[in-house]
Amino acid sequence: MNTFESKVTIQAPANKIYNFLSDFNNHQQLMPENILNWTSTFNTAAFAIQNMGSISLKIGSRTENIEITIVPDGKAPFEMELKWELLANGQETLVTFTISAELNMMLKMVASGPLQKLADHQTLALIPAIK
């Protein structure tokens, strides 16, 4: 399993960040420009990645104010899990976003850079989205 991780500290309580992240309707604000045809509900999201294909995701589990796990909803190009972890410290929260993906050698060469960029983009986009 290949892991791509990004961390950020946000000046907001964990419950505020958790409430935002637990609703897939808010995740569009965190996506880069190459994400097209976004549709979502509270528990699911589907979108296309420019020049790559489409994917559907769903919330796999929620642990209030601590963790949200996202998994494929249906067939995915590879096995993966996305996880948001929150570590509260008073009025600030350490947020860790991890993408775990089962990539063969060829996919690893092609997808590693974009997956790390996605993780970094989402954590940085979370800061203004929470304010």
Residue 51 has pLDDT above 90, yes or no: no
Contact 74/56 with Cβ under 8 angstroms?
Answer: yes
> What pLDDT shows up at residue 29?
97
Q: What is the CATH number of the domain that holds 115?
A: 3.30.530.20
Give the chain's mean pLDDT: 95
> What pLDDT shows up at residue 129?
96
Query: pLDDT digit string (tens) for 56-112?
Result: 999 999 999 999 999 999 988 889 999 999 999 989 999 999 999 999 999 899 889
Residue 52 — pLDDT band, cuts 50, 70, 90? confident
Helix (H, G, I), strand (E, B) or coil at 17: helix
Give the tokens for residue 101. Answer: 């993906």
> What pLDDT shows up at residue 22?
98
Domain count, the chain: 1
Q: Which structural domain range is residue 112 located in?
A: 2-130
Residue 53 has pLDDT above 90, yes or no: no
- Helix 105-130 crosses helix 14-21 at what angle (to 10 degrees)? 120
